[in-house]
Amino acid sequence: MRPLISVIVCLELALGFVAPLASAKSKTNLSVDSEYVLALGTANDFLRAWQTQDREAGILLLTDRLKQHTSEDALENFFSCLGGKSHSFEIARGKKVAPGRYRFPVSLFQKPQSPGTRWLRPQSSSLVVVRTGGTEWSIDKLP
C-alpha cells in the first residue's frame, strides 16, 4: 500500500496537482518594502516611549507640524499614563496611504487607576508615520 501512495504523490507533484495549494499559500504572504520596515520601526519606538513614559524620546519622534498643532498639556497627558508602568500596546499591519506615509492601527492598553478594578478596554486608534528625510521617519498623528 505504501508504494502505491508514494507513486500517487510523485505523480501529483509531477503533474502539478499540488502547485495550486502552494501558490494559494504564497498569496497570503504580503511583501513589504524597506520603507514599511522603517516606518514600522518608528511606530514601535514611539509607542515604546509612551509605554515607558519617556516623554523626551517620544517628542523627538514627532514631526514639527504635529508639535506645532499639539498643546503641551495634550503631550503631557499622552505620555503620563495613569496607573504606573502597567500598560502596553499592539500595532496591527500598516497601510501605505501615500508615498512616504503609512497608517498603523494601534491599541493602547492601560492599567486602571484603582487597585482591584478591571483593566480598561483598549483604546483603538491609528498612528501615522511619515518620511521626513532620506531614512528618517517621524510620527505625524498621535493615537
- Name the H helices within the chain: 2-15, 19-27, 34-51, 55-60, 64-69, 72-79
* Averaged pLDDT of the chain: 79
Structural domains of the chain in order of their starting residue, each with its CATH number: 34-141 (3.10.450.100)
Q: What is the mean pLDDT of residues 35-57?
A: 94
Cell numbers linked to 122: 483598549
Which residue type occupies 57?
A
DSSP state of 100: T
Euclidean distance between CA atoms 93 and 105, whole angstroms: 7
Better-predicted residue by pLDDT, 1 or 126? 126
pLDDT band at 47 (very low <50, low <70, confident <90, very high): very high
Better-predicted residue by pLDDT, 135 or 104? 104
Contacts 24+ apart (CB under 8 A), 31-38: 35/96, 35/100, 35/102, 35/131, 36/94, 36/96, 36/102, 38/131, 38/135, 38/137
Report in angstroms the alpha-carbon separations of 133 from 25, 30, 108, 137. 36, 26, 28, 7
The pTM score is: 0.72
**Is a pLDDT exceeding 80 seen at residue 124?**
yes
Euclidean distance between CA atoms 129 and 122, whole angstroms: 21
